[in-house]
Structure 1
């Protein structure tokens, strides 16, 4: 009788655990980090009450909770949670609760608050992962033929590098023909991609920031004329946990964040973009207000490195539809402003092109500008044969699925940015180093 009771009790708890796990669609995901708060995100399969319990790593005795939030179908049962009892420079473990029941995950759940180094010490070393173009196959609606996506194990390879955060460079989902004309379709695509099993451990213990490009904004090569851009903007904000959207009710996903002594400027190259085939009047990729905000923010910034993050290539000299060279007057205006305002430490970081390459623009009397293109993660790759990119750095072209780990190391007097490009399995393809002293 006692054995029967113990077996029944064990079965009951197993069923309870399964019931709670079945309510989890994807996540939890760690979003932005600051000194006194950290954002988290989770998606359930139906309406449910969620919360996060967290504690300093190795010290489970002192526990804190986020507010409880009820998920709703309006946001595809996704929600943001704020851990606002953290202290600077600490690592935390956390637990997910759905309907007051703990949901265990088969990988660590951790986050960190930013380190308060200002006026105290040199900025700490750190590293982040980055890449673009995430295509997750769904045969029922994909185009016939060879699957466009694959090698999802790349996300496991990224997680093994233990970056402080992951910066997603756009085309983080690929909206299909069945998706972009309806809210139902857009949220289905986000849910389908975010639920990929191989992504979950990366989301759970690495901070995540993102921009978008055409395929998560709308159709291929889409621009400000896309009718449903407010729907895709809403979905972006629902599924990512960036710290800010600086243009407010003017639209777009433009924002910024700082990690130690590096500031990242997250640009929107779609929401305000003149259509590629519209050759009438002034053409813009960024729009007047976003452009002016960027220049003001760059001038104000005291960061050692100022990383401008954008969906498409900036320095590539080939006049292609998806490159900034196709918006030549605005591109020239941006590069001139960086020179004339004597803004130090600018580096461009982008994706989109389905290959990785480092470009370097030498400027007479000024420091050189670098453009790091990292693509693709899981979509098909493309080798740009005979493309006239006259500023490409030799031996940096990678025409296969890959990702980057970018480190910032060294004291204030000798701060370095080290770029590592890795293949799907994590093997290093090439490495390049940029010294902050050479960007002044």
Structure 2
């Protein structure tokens, strides 16, 4: 259904007038009405104002704040958590005693069962179900949590900035995760924080790779579909992943004093080994990201990502620097349990480990005396799948 038709249908169902397509004012020195081009999310604004009064917005529940003075030595993270799947990983992660846990995308699968309603009822129900799990509630009551989103909690598989319901998806996200006033004050859910005393400052940057992202370039249809996705790299300089405002914000954040930076992207950054979603779809934007990261105020750096329902460690040399990326996915929605087969299916010179298809989560351990960072992937029994250390 076309977004404008969807909006008009929704307004009619609620007894609201459809958004006007023409401005009330006239063009200067003319009696011809001026056509106004409204984005789909602007057309839907009156509907959401009404819906906000009628529904209960799910919340994740109580969560301790992370003190800005904390010296971080262990951080855990994960992605791809289905609200209807077993929640067994929370107890395993809790046993690792992280000081901070990061949900980095597909934190629920709210587009499962979505019937194109503008109210994203399936997403709202997904959040409510996730909040009801005692395993999740108990974990959240003990460990500080921060979050960014990916497509399935943004609202629709592989969706980006043209998704008509993105602003309502954003409001559901920000309410559920109790987003900061800074995040709530601007479009998108990107955020940043600095924790720790001077000499041990960790900056966590949560990118939003959904709200502003340009449409993907699709391969032409054929009977022989590619085994690893259907998107092509798009070097069009007008295409974006982060959008102009978020790019400017990122450069400002990277200019702040910090000793170690953790950059979170919901989709993978380094790899070119597949044609699914990732920064590989936008090579010009990825080159820009490498340059911006290389120009940061002096600090260590680690990139985190999820999305793939498999995990691995990646390394590349770009812009005169070595970049490391740790991908962890998924917490409870693995698409297989044969790590060797998964590895063979996706050969990748940038990946330094196997490609682990079992359920998994990631750990980051920081040794401040030696300035060494250790990345660890843990499986669904918390056994170590892979580990890699580097000094900065």
**Normalised TM-score (structure 1):** 0.65
Q: Of 193, 202, 219, which residue of structure 1 is paired with 2:130?
A: 193
| Selected match of 1:262 from 196, 199, 202 | 202
Distance 1:113 1:200 in 2: 17
SS of the residue corresponding to residue 209 of structure 1 reads: strand
Specify which of 56, 67, 71 is matched with residue 114 of structure 1. Answer: 67
1:316 match: 271
- Stretch of structure 1 that moved more, 312-321 or 232-241: 312-321
1-side partners of 2:82 and 2:93: how far apart?
A: 16
Structure 2 Cα separation of the partners of residues 128 and 219 of structure 1: 29
Give the secondary structure class of the aligned counterpart of 2:173. helix
Name the one with the larger strand percent. Answer: 1
User: Closer, same or farther in 2 for the Cα pair 1:299/1:201, shift >3 Å?
Assistant: same
Map of 2:173 onto structure 1 = 236
Query: When the two structures are aligned, how many residues end up with a matched partner?
Result: 313
Show CA shifts across 1:242-300 (max 9, x none). 43545833x10011112321101111001001111376662111111111211221122
Q: Any conservation in 2 of the 1:208–1:241 contact (CA below 8 Å)?
A: no
| Counterparts of 1:129 and 1:116, CA distance in 2 | 19
1 CA distance for matches of 2:72 and 2:175? 31
For 1:344 and 1:113, the matched residues in 2 are separated by: 22
Task: Look up the match of 1:43.
Answer: none
Kept after mapping to 1: 8 A contact 2:57/2:172: no
Asked if structure 2 preserves the Cα contact closer than 8 Å seen for 1:179 and 1:186, the reply is: no
Q: Closer, same or farther in 2 for the Cα pair 1:116/1:226, shift >3 Å? A: closer
Q: Which residue of 2 aligns with 1:225?
A: 162
Worse overlay, 184-193 or 268-277? 184-193
CA apart distance, 1:156: 1.1
Cα displacement (A) at 1:200 = 2.1
| Cα distance, 1:195–1:384 mapped onto 2, change above 3 Å | farther
Q: Supply the distance in 2 between the matched residues of 1:134 and 1:340 (Cα, whole angstroms).
A: 34
Q: 2:362 aligns with which of 404, 411, 432?
A: 404
Cα separation, partners in 2 of 1:305 and 1:327, compared to 1, 3 Å:
same
CA contact (8 A) 1:133 1:352 kept: yes
How far apart are residue 180 of structure 1 and its match? Answer: 6.0
Equivalent in the alignment of 2:252: 296
User: 136, 144, 147: which is aligned to 1:207?
Assistant: 144
Q: 1:113 to 1:166 in 2, by over 3 A?
A: closer
Aligned residue among 103, 112, 121 for 1:184: 121
Deviation string 1:4-47 (CA, Å, 9 cap, x unpaired) is: xxxxxxxxxxxxxxxxxxxxxxxxxxxxxxxxxxxxxxxxxxxx
Listed one character per residue, the Cα deviations across residues 214-258 of structure 1 (whole Å, up to 9, x for unaligned) are 000011111111111111100101110343545833x10011112
1:339-418 map, 5 Å: 339-340=294-295, 343-363=298-318, 366-381=320-335, 383=342, 385-393=344-352, 395-411=353-369, 414-418=370-374
C-alpha contact 1:131 1:168 (8 A) present in aligned 2:
yes
Partner of 1:426: 382
How many Å separate the matches in 1 of 2:148 and 2:327?
14
User: Is 1:135 aligned with 2:82?
Assistant: yes
**Partners of 1:239 and 1:180 in 2: CA distance:** 21
- Which stretch of structure 1 is more off in the superposition, 276-285 or 169-178? 276-285
CA distance in 2, matches of 1:409, 1:177: 45
Q: Provide closer, same or farther for how the CA distance between residues 385 and 193 of structure 1 changes in structure 2, counting only shifts above 3 A.
A: farther
| Residue number among 169, 174, 189 corresponding to 2:104 in the alignment | 169
SS at match of 2:217: coil
Deviates more, 1:424-433 or 1:352-361: 424-433
CA distance in 2, matches of 1:388, 1:403: 22
CA spacing shift, 1:245–1:213, aligned 2, 3 Å: farther
Q: Report what 1:337 is aligned to.
A: 292
The question of whether the paired residues in 2 share the 8 Å contact of 1:179 and 1:188 is answered with no
Matched, 1:328 2:283: yes
Q: 1:76 aligns with which of 33, 57, 67?
A: 57
Deviation for aligned residue 1:129: 1.3
Give the deviation of 1:371 after TM superposition.
0.9
Would you say the 8 A contact 2:174–2:184 is kept in 1?
A: no
Q: Given that residues 274 and 283 in structure 1 are in contact (C-alpha distance below 8 angstroms), is that contact kept between their aligned partners in structure 2?
A: yes
